[in-house]
């Protein structure tokens, strides 16, 4: 008690009111950012019957984890999951390597017309031909309904190249010169020296690239009509918009109905499917999130750095 | 070829010449290594510009361009030809301008968020609030729509609780209605971007010279004066840069948000330019018309960027790009 009084000496009554309001507002903002995800989560592990009736709002009831197994038996979901994982892995690796390589190469003063080609790359950030022209290019190259449309347009990212270039320029040039005297070629210098030295910035790029790939929805919408190539995000969108067709999907699935009749509480409902898929979509983000945070400021720099 | 130099007795001129040649070869080799990537960039960034010529033809998809009729500016004039077309495009433009203006009007919110969060002395609370408020930024718009659906659909949480508590007698249609569409879109955008937007400002706050605070305190400044006279002016340059970029992107609202939230009820107020271009082109198959719109949008956007950049040069002596 004495301690608190001593501490309070520094505060005026205005300060106290200010603090109360400030803490309250931030608590509310924070809650608004986590409650929706909590709400969906408790609905996926509660009795599906109660969840469909809207009885699960604050805490889970009749906890079960069966939804997470059942949902993978829906036709299309394992495939979409695979597509999303593949595009995230391949897309991230190719983007990181290409950004590192190009960022490094643009520091090589000996390159033919270096400044021109660098501007050629950077200027593409400031214009966009539009959706249909891009679609027509992809269409003519047979990239519509093709997995590689998820990867190829994302390989060369000017933002990331600028970021790596700036980073490489900050490391001593003597590092490369020493390797050149030892007879190392440009590719060898890149793999043996530049890649390891640049790893902090490459980690930043990797994480942002991975989140982008995982979250990407638009490219499926524009280029893909073949349901085998749907990403998880797109599948989730179709699930939300077509609750009734999910209901038929569940009924038609023999694996599900056998088990479902046995227990009403764990029977799949459109609500349970929607929310379970949502949680599956968000889990990878939550998993990388803790590592992610220290890259935040750097990541914002990606968006605002000068060319 | 080093040995040729040795055998011909090495005049310095020959030596320089070969050295020069080797350097030339080396410089081409470096270029060839990045050529595949430049080609990729060319395909996906420059080649689509060629697609703009389709805006001047009566393009019918299975046909080749050479088989289509050249129509000149017909599609551009068509956009403004009859009252129906004008009113449709008018609505789209009003929606676009409204969403962008509302975005610009609420852009100080992130700065205010950062300033007030900075006033919180309890480190763990500050860290937790910052971390959790940033989370929605890393969630896709589809996921946010899923959240919206879970909470605000007619069987969603808000309706359940509201009806249980007797706030409303029958389910309120939050998503499938056209009431307050702009406001709803603005709020979702703010919810997603608020915490993320604040990070840049928090970084800027930590760069403000501590001596300024000390000096102001000596002069008798209270907490609010410090916020108003030291922190806020310290953040204005950052705010200015972000504002300029936002103005440059005035016509770009993004497709994802408006696509996932759009339905037949709210179409009137949700159809922004990006959504219109998409639905017109890939929904209706009016390729040429859609390209004509994209073209105008890109040209205006590049012009805006140029204006904003000049403005930045004049006022800050530093260009944005």
Asked whether residue A250 is assigned to any structural domain, the reply reads: yes
| Longest Cα–Cα distance in chain A | 78
Q: Does A140 share its domain with A30? A: no
How high is the pLDDT of residue A1? 42
Q: Does A236 share its domain with A295? A: yes
Q: What is the CATH number of the domain that holds A155?
A: 1.10.3720.10
Q: Is the pLDDT of residue A35 over 90?
A: yes
Domain that holds residue A26: 2-74+230-302
**Among candidate residues A60, A4, A8, the one with its CA nearest the CA of residue A272:** A60
Contact B136/A at CB under 8 A:
yes
For residue A291, which residues of chain B lie inside 8 Å, CB to CB?
A: none
Q: Is residue B57 classed as helix, strand or coil in its secondary structure?
A: strand
DSSP designation for B122: -
Q: Does A90 share its domain with A70? A: no
Q: Does A249 share its domain with A221? A: no
Asked whether residue A210 is assigned to any structural domain, the reply reads: yes
Asked whether residue A7 is assigned to any structural domain, the reply reads: yes
Number of domains making up chain A? 2
Q: Does A130 share its domain with A183? A: yes
Residue A67 vs residues A41, A57, A64, A83, A247: alpha-carbon distances, Å: 11, 18, 8, 21, 15
Confidence tier at B20 by pLDDT (50, 70, 90): confident
The answer to whether B51 contacts A281, with C-beta atoms less than 8 Å apart, is no
Residue A130 vs residues A133, B46, B58, B80: alpha-carbon distances, Å: 6, 11, 18, 20
Q: Please list, in sequence order, all residues whose beta carbon lies within 8 angstroms of the beta carbon of residue B315, skipping any fewer than 6 positions away.
A: B240
How high is the pLDDT of residue A71? 85
- Taking residue B204's Cβ as centre, other Cβ atoms within 10 Å add up to 19
Contact B320/A at CB under 8 A:
yes
Alpha-carbon span B80 to B88, nearest angstrom:
10
Mean pLDDT of B38-52: 94
Cα A161 to chain center, whole Å? 20
**Strand-pair category, B69-70 with B57-58:** antiparallel
Mean pLDDT of A160-188: 88
Question: Which residue among B26, B195, B245 sits closest to A110, beta carbon to beta carbon?
Answer: B26
Q: Is the pLDDT of residue B7 over 50?
A: no
Alpha-carbon span B99 to B257, nearest angstrom:
12
B278 half-sphere exposure, CB direction, 13 A CA radius: 20
For residue A148, which residues of chain B lie inside 8 Å, CB to CB?
A: none
How high is the pLDDT of residue A10? 63
DSSP-assigned letters across all residues of A111-172: STTHHHHHHHHHGGGG----HHHHHHHHHHTT-TT-GGGGTHHHH--HHHHHHHHHHHHHS-
Question: Which residue among A187, A221, A281 sits closest to B143, beta carbon to beta carbon?
Answer: A281
The answer to whether B37 contacts A54, with C-beta atoms less than 8 Å apart, is no
Last residue of a domain, one of A190, A208, A227: A227
Write out residues 221-250 of A within 8 Å (CB-CB) of B.
Answer: 221-222, 233-234, 236-237, 240
Chain A residue nearest residue B37, CA to CA: A156
Q: Please list, in sequence order, all residues whose beta carbon lies within 8 angstroms of the beta carbon of residue A157, skipping any fewer than 6 positions away.
A: A95, A98, A99, A209
Mean pLDDT of B151-175: 86
CA distance B45 to chain A (A): 6
Contact A204/B at CB under 8 A:
no
- Probe site for chain B from A33, A239, A273 (most B CB atoms < 10 A): A33
Apex B33 CA angle, B28 and B38, nearest 5: 100
How high is the pLDDT of residue A2? 43
CA distance B2 to chain A (A): 15
Residue-wise pLDDT tens digits, B185-198 = 999 999 999 998 89
Contact B46/A at CB under 8 A:
yes
- Probe site for chain A from B111, B143, B252, B254 (most A CB atoms < 10 A): B143
Alpha-carbon span A301 to B7, nearest angstrom:
56
CA distance B219 to chain A (A): 17
Residue-wise pLDDT tens digits, A77-103 = 999 999 999 999 999 999 999 999 999
Contact B27/A at CB under 8 A:
yes
3-state helix, strand, coil in chain A (%, to 5): 80, 0, 20
Contact A28/B at CB under 8 A:
no
Contact B193/A at CB under 8 A:
no
**Among candidate residues B222, B230, B193, B245, the one with its CA nearest the CA of residue B115:** B230
Residue-wise pLDDT tens digits, A57-77 = 889 988 888 889 888 888 789
Cα A238 to chain center, whole Å? 19
Last residue of a domain, one of A202, A227, A252: A227
Residue-wise pLDDT tens digits, B227-282 = 999 999 999 988 988 898 889 889 999 899 999 999 888 888 999 999 999 999 98
Mean pLDDT of B48-72: 83
Q: Does A22 share its domain with A120? A: no
How high is the pLDDT of residue B12? 67
Residue A29 vs residues A108, B113, B133, B185, B192: alpha-carbon distances, Å: 48, 10, 7, 18, 11
CA distance A259 to chain B (A): 26
Confidence tier at A246 by pLDDT (50, 70, 90): low
The answer to whether A274 contacts B297, with C-beta atoms less than 8 Å apart, is no
Contact B298/A at CB under 8 A:
yes
Q: Does A127 share its domain with A198? A: yes
Confidence tier at A255 by pLDDT (50, 70, 90): low
Alpha-carbon span B294 to A244, nearest angstrom:
36
Asked whether residue A52 is assigned to any structural domain, the reply reads: yes
For residue A109, which residues of chain B lie inside 8 Å, CB to CB?
A: none
Q: What is the dihedral of CA B2, B6, B9, B12, to 10 degrees?
A: 40
Q: Which pair of tokens denotes residue A158?
A: 């000017």
For residue B279, which residues of chain A lie inside 8 Å, CB to CB?
A: none
Alpha-carbon span A152 to A95, nearest angstrom:
9
Q: Is the pLDDT of residue A23 over 90?
A: yes
Q: Does A217 share its domain with A84? A: yes
Q: What average pLDDT is seen over chain B?
A: 87
CA distance A261 to chain B (A): 24
Q: Is the pLDDT of residue A42 over 90?
A: yes
CA distance A76 to chain B (A): 18
Q: Does A160 share its domain with A84? A: yes
How high is the pLDDT of residue A222? 94
Q: Is residue B77 classed as helix, strand or coil in its secondary structure?
A: helix
Q: Please list, in sequence order, all residues whose beta carbon lies within 8 angstroms of the beta carbon of residue B305, skipping any fewer than 6 positions away.
A: A126, B248, B320, B321
Asked whether residue A307 is assigned to any structural domain, the reply reads: no
Write out residues 115-134 of B within 8 Å (CB-CB) of A.
Answer: 116-117, 119-120, 125, 128-129, 131-134
Outline where DSSP puts E strands in A170-292.
Answer: none
For residue A23, which residues of chain B lie inside 8 Å, CB to CB?
A: 120, 125
Contact A24/B at CB under 8 A:
no
Q: Domains of chain B, with CATH numbers?
A: 2-61 (no CATH), 73-316 (1.10.3720.10)
Asked whether residue A47 is assigned to any structural domain, the reply reads: yes
Q: Does A105 share its domain with A223? A: yes
Asked whether residue A15 is assigned to any structural domain, the reply reads: yes
Q: Is the pLDDT of residue B9 over 70?
A: no
Contact A25/B at CB under 8 A:
yes
Asked whether residue A261 is assigned to any structural domain, the reply reads: yes
Residues A30/B129, Cβ–Cβ less than 8 Å: yes
Contact B139/A at CB under 8 A:
yes
Residue B227 vs residues B109, B204, B234: alpha-carbon distances, Å: 15, 14, 10
Q: Which pairs with CB-CB distance under 8 Å and at least 24 residues apart come from A79-86?
A: A79/A228, A79/A230, A80/A230, A80/A231, A80/A232, A80/A234, A80/A235, A81/A232, A81/A280, A83/A147, A83/A150, A83/A229, A83/A230, A83/A231, A83/A232, A84/A214, A84/A231, A84/A232, A84/A233, A86/A147
Q: Is residue A307 classed as helix, strand or coil in its secondary structure?
A: coil
**Among candidate residues A113, A118, A95, A104, the one with its CA nearest the CA of residue A204:** A95
DSSP designation for A208: H
Q: Does A129 share its domain with A267? A: no
Q: Which pair of tokens denotes residue B308?
A: 């904003």
CA distance B159 to chain A (A): 9
Confidence tier at B148 by pLDDT (50, 70, 90): very high
Q: Is the pLDDT of residue B283 over 90?
A: no
How high is the pLDDT of residue B10? 53
How high is the pLDDT of residue A30? 94
Q: State the burial class of residue B27 (Cβ atoms within 10 Å of its Cβ: 0-12, 13-18, 19+).
A: middle
Lowest-pLDDT choice from A38-42, A90-94, B155-159, B267-271: B155-159
Alpha-carbon span A22 to B105, nearest angstrom:
22
Last residue of a domain, one of A197, A227, A257: A227
CA distance B34 to chain A (A): 7
Q: Does A114 share its domain with A142? A: yes
pLDDT more than 70, % of chain A: 85
CA distance A52 to chain B (A): 8
Write out residues 155-194 of A within 8 Å (CB-CB) of B.
Answer: 155-156, 186-187
Q: Is residue B58 classed as helix, strand or coil in its secondary structure?
A: strand
Q: Is residue B312 classed as helix, strand or coil in its secondary structure?
A: helix
How high is the pLDDT of residue A150? 96
**Among candidate residues B292, B317, B181, B164, the one with its CA nearest the CA of residue B237:** B317
Mean pLDDT of B204-221: 87
For residue B260, which residues of chain A lie inside 8 Å, CB to CB?
A: 217, 237
Q: What are phi and psi of A68, to 5 degrees?
A: -70, -25
């Amino acid at each position: 008690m004495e301690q608190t009084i001593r501490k309070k000496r520094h505060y005026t009554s205005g300060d106290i009111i200010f603090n109360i309001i400030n803490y309250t507002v931030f608590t509310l903002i924070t809650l608004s950012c986590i409650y929706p995800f909590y709400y969906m989560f408790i609905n996926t592990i509660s009795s599906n019957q109660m969840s469909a009736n809207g009885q699960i709002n604050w805490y889970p009831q009749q906890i079960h984890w069966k939804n997470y197994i059942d949902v993978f038996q829906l036709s299309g979901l394992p495939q979409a999951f695979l597509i999303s994982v593949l595009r995230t892995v391949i897309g991230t690796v190719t983007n990181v390597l290409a950004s590192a390589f190009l960022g490094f190469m643009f520091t090589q003063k000996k390159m033919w017309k270096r400044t021109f080609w660098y501007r050629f790359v950077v200027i593409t950030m400031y214009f966009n031909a539009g959706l249909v022209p891009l679609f027509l290019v992809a269409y003519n190259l047979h990239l519509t309904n093709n997995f590689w449309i998820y990867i190829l347009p994302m390989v060369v990212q000017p933002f990331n190249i600028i970021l790596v270039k700036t980073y490489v320029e900050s490391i001593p040039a003597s590092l490369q010169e020493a390797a050149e005297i030892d007879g190392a070629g440009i590719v060898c210098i890149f793999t043996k020296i530049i890649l390891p030295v640049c790893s902090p910035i490459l980690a930043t790029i990797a994480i942002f690239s991975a989140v982008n790939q995982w979250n990407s929805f638009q490219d499926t919408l524009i280029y893909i009509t073949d349901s085998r190539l749907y990403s998880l995000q797109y599948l989730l969108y179709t699930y939300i918009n077509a609750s009734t067709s999910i209901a038929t999907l569940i009924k038609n699935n023999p694996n599900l109905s056998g088990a479902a009749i046995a227990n009403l509480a764990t029977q799949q409902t459109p609500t349970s499917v929607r929310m379970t898929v949502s949680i599956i979509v968000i889990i990878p983000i939550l998993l990388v999130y803790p590592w992610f945070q220290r890259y935040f400021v750097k990541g914002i720099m990606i968006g605002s750095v000068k060319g | 070829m080093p040995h040729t130099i040795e055998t011909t007795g090495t005049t310095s001129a020959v030596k320089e010449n070969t050295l020069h040649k080797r350097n030339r070869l080396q410089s081409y080799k470096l270029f060839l290594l990045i050529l595949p990537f430049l080609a990729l960039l060319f395909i996906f960034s420059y080649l689509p510009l060629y697609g703009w010529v389709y805006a001047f033809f009566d393009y019918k998809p299975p046909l080749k361009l050479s088989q289509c009729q050249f129509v000149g500016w017909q599609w551009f004039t068509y956009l403004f030809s009859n009252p129906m077309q004008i009113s449709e495009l008018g609505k789209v433009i009003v929606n676009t301008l409204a969403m962008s203006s509302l975005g610009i009007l609420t852009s100080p919110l992130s700065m205010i968020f950062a300033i007030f969060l900075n006033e919180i002395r309890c480190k763990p609370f500050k860290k937790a609030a910052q971390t959790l408020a940033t989370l929605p930024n890393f969630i896709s718009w589809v996921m946010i729509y899923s959240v919206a659906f879970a909470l605000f659909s007619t069987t969603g949480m808000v309706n359940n609780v509201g009806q249980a508590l007797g706030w409303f007698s029958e389910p309120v249609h939050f998503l499938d209605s056209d009431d307050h569409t702009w406001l709803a879109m603005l709020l979702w955008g703010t919810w997603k971007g608020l915490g993320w937007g604040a990070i840049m400002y928090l970084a800027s706050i930590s760069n403000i010279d501590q001596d300024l605070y000390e000096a102001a305190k000596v002069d008798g400044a209270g907490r609010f004066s410090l916020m108003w006279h030291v922190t806020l002016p310290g953040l204005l340059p950052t705010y200015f840069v972000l504002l300029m970029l936002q103005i440059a992107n005035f016509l770009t609202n993004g497709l994802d948000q408006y696509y996932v939230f759009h339905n037949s009820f709210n179409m009137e107020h949700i159809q922004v330019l990006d959504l219109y271009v998409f639905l017109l082109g890939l929904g209706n198959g009016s390729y040429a018309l859609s390209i004509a719109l994209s073209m105008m949008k890109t040209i205006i956007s590049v012009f805006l960027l140029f204006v904003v950049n000049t403005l930045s040069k004049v006022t800050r002596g530093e260009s944005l790009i």
